[in-house]
């Protein structure tokens, strides 16, 4: 790994804890203005101080994030599909590495659709992106997308998708938590960050997911809907930081949900 690549990765996965709290706000690239992200700037601004990295497209970055902000940018460079179209997996590279560098991206994110008709296309594009990332010192985040088929979130499938992404050279991977997650960690020798998925019934469910994932070896979380669709988004991301970086239990971290923003930290 080149110096630049390691340096960029360490802006996302913090060397002190070897973990990360990423905020995913890239959903609009295929879902449009979903609940909680109708106005990206309004959603993102109060959450930024608590995120190690923010995952988003160049369109939202340019229009809705202050360029003076101190947060690592994980730039989604794949797209070309929508929830309304015929094939969710029909995704390709839609942003150049040159533009990613111009935007000071710390990493490039690309979705792979293993087990779908778009498997070959997305895996080849991932490998091409890894080559470009190596050329320019930018790490690549492979996102193991399951599209509409949420039942694919089983250990065997997730381990397969993560292993393939790691074999093709992805520097870190965003995937779903599964009950036997240690098997996924073993299978993929690169850091794994966990997607939150659709908003869960309660905040505590999402905190438990984060806690179980990091306890099983995940390098952190890259939550979107379970943060910005919460009734207390700032409390949620603060609680996630407690779990991911400080080893708090979900019950301890839940104190953040009842706290006044900007008030003293829970001990
Ligand atoms: C799709 C994605 C999403 O755009 C997003 O990042 C998912 O985040 P969450 O599930 O936590 O809302 O990666 O594959």
- Ligand 1 atom 13: residue of nearest CA: 143
Q: Whose CA is nearest to atom 8 of ligand 1?
A: 224
In 3D space, the residue among 50, 54, 43 whose CA is nearest the CA of residue 12 turns out to be 54
Q: What is the pLDDT of residue 259?
A: 57
Q: What is the mean pLDDT of residues 181-205?
A: 97
pLDDT one-digit tens code per residue, 24-51: 999 999 999 999 999 999 999 999 999 9
In 3D space, the residue among 50, 51, 61 whose CA is nearest the CA of residue 26 turns out to be 61
- pTM of the entire structure? 0.94
pLDDT tens-place string over residues 72-101: 999 999 999 999 998 989 999 999 999 999
pLDDT for 1 equals 83
What residue owns the CA closest to ligand 1's atom 2? 27
CA–centroid distance, 196 to ligand 1, in Å, is 7
Q: Rg (Cα) of the chain, in Å, rounded?
A: 17
List the beta bridge partners of residue 56.
75
What topology is assigned to 3-199+217-224 in CATH? TIM Barrel (3.20.20)
User: Which tens digits make up the pLDDT trace of 220-259?
Assistant: 999 999 999 999 999 999 999 999 999 999 999 999 998 5
* Ligand 1 mutation pick, 25, 26, 227, max ligand atoms within 8 A of CB: 26
| Inter-residue long-range contacts of 145-149, CB under 8 Å, 24+ positions, other chains counted | 145/88, 145/89, 145/91, 145/111, 145/112, 145/113, 146/176, 147/88, 147/89, 147/113, 147/116, 148/88
Catalytic residues: 174
Phi, psi of 96 (to 5 degrees): -75, 155
């Amino acid at each position: 790994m080149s110096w630049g690549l390691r340096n960029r990765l360490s802006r996302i996965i913090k060397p002190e804890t070897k973990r990360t709290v990423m905020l995913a706000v890239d959903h609009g690239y295929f879902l449009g203005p979903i609940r909680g992200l109708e106005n990206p700037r309004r959603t993102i601004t109060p959450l930024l101080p608590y995120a190690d990295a923010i995952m988003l497209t160049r369109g939202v970055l340019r229009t809705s994030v202050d360029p003076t902000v101190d947060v690592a940018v994980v730039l989604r460079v794949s797209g070309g599909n929508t929830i309304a179209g015929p094939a969710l997996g029909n995704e390709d590279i839609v942003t150049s590495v040159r533009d990613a560098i111009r935007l000071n991206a710390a990493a490039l994110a690309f979705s792979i659709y293993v087990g779908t008709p778009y498997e070959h296309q997305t895996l080849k594009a991932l490998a091409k992106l890894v080559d470009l990332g190596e050329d320019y010192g930018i790490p690549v985040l492979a996102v193991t997308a399951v599209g509409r088929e949420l039942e694919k979130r089983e250990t065997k499938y997730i381990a397969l998708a993560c292993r393939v992404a790691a074999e093709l050279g992805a520097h870190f991977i965003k995937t779903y938590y599964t009950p036997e997650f240690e098997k996924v960690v073993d299978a993929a020798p690169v850091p794994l960050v966990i997607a939150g998925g659709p908003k869960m019934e309660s905040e505590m469910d999402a905190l438990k997911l984060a806690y179980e994932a990091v306890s099983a070896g995940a390098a952190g979380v890259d939550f979107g809907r379970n943060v910005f669709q919460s009734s207390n988004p700032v409390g949620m991301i603060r609680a996630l930081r407690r779990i991911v970086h400080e080893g708090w239990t979900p019950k301890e971290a839940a104190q953040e949900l009842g706290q006044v923003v900007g008030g003293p930290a829970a001990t």
